[in-house]
Amino acid sequence: MVCLKVTPLKGFPALVARTRDGRLFLVISDLHIGMTAWMGLRRPSPEEEAKDVLERVVLACHQADAHNIIVLGDLKHRIFEPTMHERKALRSLTEGLAEDFEVWVMKGNHDYGIEECLDARVRIVGKGGLEIEKTVFMHGHSLPRLAESPESYDMMVCGHVHPQWIVNGEWSPVWLTLKGHGVKPAKVIMLPHFSRYASRAGYRPGPPSTVAPFLKRLRIGRYGYEVRDLQLKKVASGKASEIIASGKE
């Protein structure tokens, strides 16, 4: 039985998680701040990008009535040392968020050196992920704490995969959910990216089972998949083995 209640927030690439005692968390992933600068574009500036992301996150929090934020990694885009653009934008963004919210950040594979860019009030979570009521929240590029026994979790939630689908004629971020049949974890949720630019730039890290090693620990033959757009309309479904290869059946 899954105790933690999770619901995609309609119209946003954000998940709302409610604990048994009523605490609400807004969960987002893959901001990839600095992507446009990395592409050689002069706009948005660091201040403009921070302001845009801050406004969108705050709006989502107000919609969800959430006072806690979990960011599942890849706050910045450059894999190595943060650029000046990323430093300025992340400092401004996290200062703004920390004024009104409790913020947890897990480091993604793009987040080298991110500690020096964040407001001191932000809590950084180790690569093993954050566990709340038998649900693990993680970036997805590394294995969670209980990697050898994923059945210990009721649910797994990650970013990193960047699920995308052709919606209205163009590639768009979507929700990708695996639903287990008589197996645990009962559900695996892969979040759409929060970045405005990743789909437009054609950014795709690779096949899910290649970029997210924990998927190979699942009995993938006993899962179905479902794809929903940001308005939560179902756009595809089927057997998980059709889209995700696994070494464990």
- CATH number among 1.10.150, 3.60.21, 3.30.160, 3.40.50, domain 5-242: 3.60.21
pTM of the entire predicted model? 0.94
Answer yes or no: are the C-beta atoms of 92 and 124 closer than 8 Å.
no
Tell me: the pLDDT tens digits for 37-52? 888 888 899 999 999 9
The domains of the chain are located at: 5-242
Tell me: the pLDDT tens digits for 152-170? 899 999 999 999 999 888 9
- Mean pLDDT, residues 232-237 taken together: 96
Tell me: the pLDDT tens digits for 98-134? 999 999 999 999 999 999 999 999 999 987 899 999 9
> How is residue 116 annotated by DSSP?
G
- Mean pLDDT, residues 59-82 taken together: 96
Tell me: the pLDDT tens digits for 145-154? 766 678 889 9
User: Burial of 26 by CB count in 10 Å (0-12 exposed, 13-18 middle, 19+ buried)?
Assistant: buried
Instruction: Outline where the chain has alpha helix (H).
Output: 35-38, 46-64, 84-100, 208-211
DSSP-assigned letters across all residues of 148-173 = T-GGG-SEEEE-SS--EEEETTEEEE
